[in-house]
Structure 1
Amino acid sequence: MTQQPPGLRTEFDFELPCGYVDGTGAVHRRGRMRLATARDELAPLIDQRVKENPAYLGVVLLSLVITRLGNVPEIHAGVVESLFATDLAYLQDFYRRVNGLEGDRAVACPSCGTAFAVPEPVPGERLGES
């Protein structure tokens, strides 16, 4: 496990709703994801699979930032491809939350002035888009 700077949390545990089923039939649900770096966001853009199918960007990006998934020895795009749709959606949402790509902003009603929070829109529609 990599050492984290004091006061900065860079890795986050998760538990998949369904779990990744490996070739032996074992189910892996608990994992860990690290914060994305600029390199993580840029590297998939030169991947041929992403060039051919931009929707593949999220798969490649998740394979870079997931550091552990049960006892799976190596996390690669093929592992992410094999996830159930529910688990993929969960990880995409988790990625956005841990990397601060979603949040609330304060707004006020123009008529009465009442303040309330609304979700901040996420730039782009897919992982890695900004």
Structure 2
Amino acid sequence: MSDVIKTEFPFELPIGYTDKEGNSHRHGVMRMATAADEILPMKDPRVRNNPAYLSIILLARVITRLGSLDPINTDLVEQLYSQDFAYLQDLHHRINKTGTSAHQATCPKCDHRFEVAVEPTEGR
């Protein structure tokens, strides 16, 4: 039996990106980051001028799909609502830290540990 490593994770944005034609894009895929994804943006002058810009570049590199949009780039990530941006930052952190998009939870009664998939709900 081989251990298959999951490297891509589907997501649904809480609000979604609306393109110029008025189409909403909420469903996408994010891949795990590579060392290059983490290191190469540090050379970008936008990051040197504003270290917070690292998150924009990093997300533009690891989001492989958002609806029917192509390409995913920093301009698109900059236009996301802050709630969607925060959701993607959290997802990036979870999948690169734990290898899963789920949160770890513990039952308060029996201390059983389990994973909970957290997806945004309508109207959030």
Q: TM-score range by the shorter chain?
A: 0.7 to 0.9
Show the 5 A alignment for 1:1-130: 7-100=4-97
Give the structure with higher Rg (CA): 1
Q: Which has a greater percent of helix?
A: 2
Q: Report the number of matched residues.
A: 103
Q: Tell me how far 1:25 sits from its aligned partner.
A: 1.6
Give the SS at the match of 1:31: strand
Question: What is the CA–CA distance in structure 1 between the aligned matches of 2:17 and 2:3, rounded to whole Å?
Answer: 32
Question: What is the CA–CA distance in structure 2 between the aligned matches of 1:34 and 1:26, rounded to whole Å?
Answer: 24
Structure 1 runs (4+) greater than 3 angstroms displaced:
101-104
Q: TM-score, normalised by structure 2?
A: 0.76
Where does the alignment leave 5 or more consecutive residues of structure 1 unmatched? 105-114, 118-130
Where does the alignment leave 5 or more consecutive residues of structure 2 unmatched? 105-110, 114-124
| Residue deviations 1:60-119 (CA, integer Å, cap 9, x gap) | 000000000000010000000000000000000000001016987xxxxxxxxxx9x9xx
Q: TM-score, normalised by structure 1?
A: 0.73
Quote the RMSD (CA, aligned, Å).
Answer: 2.3
Higher RCO structure (Cα 8 Å, ≥6 apart): 2
